[in-house]
Amino acid sequence: MNVTPSDMVLTPGGVRFAGRIFPCVVGKGGVRTDKREGDGATPVGVHHIVGVLFRPDRGPAPNGWAKPILPGDLWADASGEIGYNQLVRAPYPHSHERMRRADPLYDIVLITDWNWPTAKPERGSAIFLHQWRRPGFATEGCVAFPRNDLRWITERLEPGDRLIVPKTMAG
């Protein structure tokens, strides 16, 4: 695989990007080659950044292509249902996650192309890059960073830049 300077690469010490290493946390299920819905794992692979969402009531857009998270924005996570692994709007009758959260975790969200845009049932949904709760507190499969680091990274990304999760990171 050809790694470029605009790639984010998960390493044992954090994510390497733009000549720096950023502390991060991954899924509570570890890094896996066989990601499934609900396993809490971060999937091995090359994941393109396909979108950026942000809370406009909590800060300015982190780049020129970020879209605001609006009241009623949801992420569908009901495997096999219409809208699975897509941004949908309330009311949505199937399992979903609110994008406009009370906590700051989704103030900035980088959307990857994991199982997207045409989601296969049970492959897993919503591998985002977002803010962490605190150091060492694992995610549900996403990659999470300290707030200031996430903003710094997002300000420098372009559509299609990649998060690389090497097979060597799988446990």
CB 136 within 8 A of CB 124: no
pLDDT at residue 5, as a whole number = 84
Domain ranges in the chain are 25-41+49-160
pLDDT at 92: 97
Averaged pLDDT, groups of 10, the chain, 171 residues long: 90 97 98 95 98 98 98 94 94 96 98 95 94 97 98 96 97 82
What pLDDT, on the 0 to 100 scale, is given for residue 2? 87
Q: What's the confidence (pLDDT) of residue 65?
A: 97
Tens of pLDDT, residue by residue over 90-121, are: 999 999 999 999 999 999 999 999 999 999 99
Name residues whose C-beta falls within 8 Å of residue 61's C-beta, 6 or more positions apart in sequence.
Answer: 54, 68
Q: At 31, is the secondary structure helix, strand, or coil?
A: strand
pLDDT of residue 170: 95
pLDDT score, position 116: 93
What is the residue-wise DSSP string for 13-66?
TEEEETTEEE--B-BTT-EESS--TTS-PEEPEEEEEEEEEE-TTSS--SSTT-
| Residue tagged 């994991």 (tokens) | 114
Cα separation of 87 and 19, whole Å?
Answer: 32
